[in-house]
Amino acid sequence: MQYRVVAADAFSTQRQLLWDLCYRVTGTAGDADVLLRDCFARAIERPLVDGDADWRPHLIQSAATLALDVLRHRKRRQYIGAWLPSPVDTGSTASRDPRPHTTTAMRYDMVESGSMAFLKALEALEPRERLVFVMGDAFGFHVHDAASTLEYTAATVRTLLQNARRKMQRYDAAHQAPTRDAQAQVAALLRDCVTHLQSFDAPRLEKILALDAQALFDSGGEFVAPSGNICGSATVAKVLTKFVRGTGRIDFSFRMLNGLPAALGQAEGRTRWARRFVLSVDAREGLISDIHVIMATAKLTAVRFDSI
């Protein structure tokens, strides 16, 4: 019984860290919730030999191993339509400016590493690369600490980290952290986007989109949604306007999700059309570069929708 109390206390202390790690490795809040429970169960089932040992590495290893298994399983499954990370409420916290760029500590703060753009970019990494990259560059684990915790060699961790950083160079070049200025810019563009959508004004919407703007719809096969990557400002504007018109009357509210303002849409409801969805945007040079529409029920478990 005493062991369970010690384990519970240690788990409670590390709970947020473990959830944050699992969310960034899997990209899904629902998975992170389940993994948190499994991590605690594993800690109880596999006690430390030394009762006075530090629980933190033990718990992180359990969470990392479980998250890696879930990520690998997801990668093997065929997902219907576009896959996007699940949104989470983050409040008004912003990234520090400028973004730190060192090779000995965190290269990204917790706000940026939980952003939609960052989580989406992580999809280009192999599972072990993603785990090591998140631990090293988002959580500040040094190579030897990560190797010890994961039971990898230091050489393996260095190689995985180097490969991941190379693959993330495109993200680094194209995206800025969710600073106060970035949040304000996105808020203004998002409100204009919603206004034009509610009036079905595709020409005006097109004017606030970058020429190479892209839109992705994640319905998980549950609801009517465009498939694949929609590209080009004119096409994106037409498809989005058509989507909103088909959905019926929509009430929008705004919330800070994943470090940036997002629009929460609630519709009257039609057969096979989503009644709730999250619309988020990324900005580049004063224009909208990416639009994400997340409708899949399993992706919205961490977002609170106000009643309409």
Query: What pLDDT digit, counting tens, does each position of 15-48 carry?
Result: 899 999 999 999 999 999 999 999 888 777 766 6
Length of the chain: 308
Give the dihedral sign, CA 30/100/261/171: negative
Q: What is the mean pLDDT of the chain?
A: 90
pLDDT confidence of residue 25: 98
pLDDT confidence of residue 53: 62
Is 86 within a domain?
A: no
User: Which residues contact residue 76 at a Cβ distance below 8 angstroms, ignoring those fewer than 6 apart?
Assistant: none
62/116 same-domain check: no
Instruction: Specify which residues 281 forms β-bridges with.
Output: 291
Report how far residue 283's alpha carbon sits from residue 296's, in angstroms, rounded to the nearest whole number: 24
Report how far residue 255's alpha carbon sits from residue 303's, in angstroms, rounded to the nearest whole number: 9
pLDDT confidence of residue 101: 56
pLDDT confidence of residue 131: 98
pLDDT tens digit string along 254-299?
999 999 999 999 998 678 889 999 999 999 999 999 999 999 999 9
Where is the domain boundary, 44, 77, 110?
A: 77
3-state secondary structure of 209: strand
Where is the domain boundary, 14, 45, 77?
A: 77
| Mean pLDDT computed over 93-122 | 83
| Phi, psi dihedral angles at 6 (to 5 degrees) | -65, -45
**Number of domains the chain is built from:** 3
Domain of residue 163, residue span: 101-175
Of 307 and 228, which is predicted with more confidence?
Answer: 228
203/283 same-domain check: yes
Provide long-range contacts, Cβ within 8 A and 24+ apart, for 69-78. Answer: 70/26, 70/31, 70/35, 71/25, 71/26, 71/127, 71/130, 71/131, 72/127, 74/26, 74/28, 74/31, 75/127
